Amino acid sequence: MEMNFLAILAAAISALIVGFIWYNPKVFGNAWMQAAGITEDQIKGGNMLKIFSLALLFSFMLAFLMTTIVIHQMGAIGLVGGDPSKALPSYAAFMADYGDAFRTFKHGALHGFISGIFLALPIIGINALFERKSAKYIFINSGYWIVTLTIMGAIICGWR
């Protein structure tokens, strides 16, 4: 079993697609700008190539990490040091029995959703509290990550 680069890339790109929709002025964009204290001129004044390039890089890094959260078999690979060719015969037997267990879009979405609730929400919430941001700010940004991680998890776990 090896990581699927295309699944990770698709998951990373999905973060940008969800962001394009989520932060659109017709969805949460205007509310987010108001809650974040950002003006439309500030948005237009940013270096979009740099912003989107780094956003894609960070999304790729996150999608790479999500493989360990949504694909349970990654734990078995870790137990043998990452090189299945050096594992005992019991590893091959285990993978033959359980290599595809819980490898569905639905299961990945569940773990992605749980990651959004228990990872993204607390991190954003803590930062926002110290930055003196509103609950609206917390819920808009956390909502984005909950949806994004749900989709990322589904893509990574279900794509084979």
Please give the pLDDT value at position 32: 98
Please give the pLDDT value at position 100: 86
pLDDT per residue as tens digits for the range 99-122: 888 899 999 999 999 999 999 999
pLDDT per residue as tens digits for the range 82-92: 888 889 999 99
Residue corresponding to tokens 């700010």: 137
Weakly modelled stretches of the chain, pLDDT under 50: 1
Q: What's the CA dihedral at 121, 127, 132, 137 to 10 degrees? A: -40
Buried b (16+ CB within 10 A) or exposed e, 84-117: eeebeeebeebbeeeeeeebeeebbbbbbbbbbe
pTM above 0.85, yes or no: yes
**Domain residues of the chain, as ranges?**
5-158
The tokens of 109 are what? 């979405």
